[in-house]
């Protein structure tokens, strides 16, 4: 882990997503070693439903930032990574804009259905 994090930028890696459960040391340890952005994804285990993991990742000391997403939400970790990379890679930014447009259109379809059938019948 130390060698991977320390040398990731030399291999062309632009950011690291690190998932961890329980005491969730991995994202913080990686962030302490690498100069790259680190996104932590807390994983729910049997105890505390992932809240322990969340706290372990977000409570890093000053100088060791770890961007953190919701418990068990690796999708948002990936989307955040695309946004970060998209700030300097135009094709990623374009794909994010298309993704957001599609999401908006899906929501509007659902709103229309909800208005037509009512909330009681929406899921039927």
pLDDT band at 87 (very low <50, low <70, confident <90, very high): very high
CA dist 53 and 86 (Å) reads: 28
Same domain, 50 and 100: no
Mean pLDDT value across the chain: 95
Same domain, 46 and 74: yes
Q: Stretch 26-49: mean pLDDT, rounded?
A: 93
Would the CA dihedral through 70, 73, 75, 81 be positive or negative? positive
In the chain, the number of structural domains is 2
Domain of 25, CATH number, reads: 3.40.50.1970
Whole domain around residue 67: which residue ranges?
Answer: 1-88
Cα maximum dimension of the chain: 57
Same domain, 55 and 78: yes
pLDDT score of 46: 79
Same domain, 13 and 71: yes
pLDDT score of 58: 93
pLDDT score of 24: 82
Same domain, 110 and 75: no
Beta bridge pairs of residue 18: 40
- Cβ contacts of 87 within 8 Å, gap of 6 or more: 93
User: What pLDDT digit, counting tens, does each position of 54-72 carry?
Assistant: 999 999 999 999 999 999 9
Percent of the chain with pLDDT over 90: 85
pLDDT band at 23 (very low <50, low <70, confident <90, very high): confident
**DSSP codes, 59-94:** TPPTT---EE--TT-HHHHHHHHHHHHHTT-HHHHH
CA dist 45 and 97 (Å) reads: 34
Same domain, 4 and 56: yes
Same domain, 102 and 75: no
User: What pLDDT digit, counting tens, does each position of 93-124 carry?
Assistant: 999 999 999 999 999 999 999 999 999 988 87
Q: Stretch 75-82: mean pLDDT, rounded?
A: 98
**Is pLDDT above 90 for 28?**
yes
- Cβ contacts of 16 within 8 Å, gap of 6 or more: 5, 8, 30, 34, 36, 37, 38, 39
């Amino acid at each position: 882990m130390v060698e991977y994090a320390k040398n990731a930028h030399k291999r062309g890696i632009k950011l690291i997503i690190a998932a961890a459960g329980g005491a969730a040391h991995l994202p913080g340890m990686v962030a302490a070693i690498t100069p790259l952005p680190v996104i932590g994804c807390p994983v729910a285990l049997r105890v505390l439903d992932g809240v322990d993991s969340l706290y372990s990742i977000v409570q890093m000391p000053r100088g060791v930032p770890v961007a953190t997403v919701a418990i068990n939400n690796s999708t948002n970790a990936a989307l955040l990574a695309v946004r970060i990379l998209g700030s300097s890679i135009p094709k990623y930014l374009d794909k994010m804009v298309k993704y957001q447009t599609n999401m908006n259109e899906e929501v509007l379809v659902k709103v229309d259905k909800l208005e037509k059938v009512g909330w009681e019948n929406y899921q039927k």
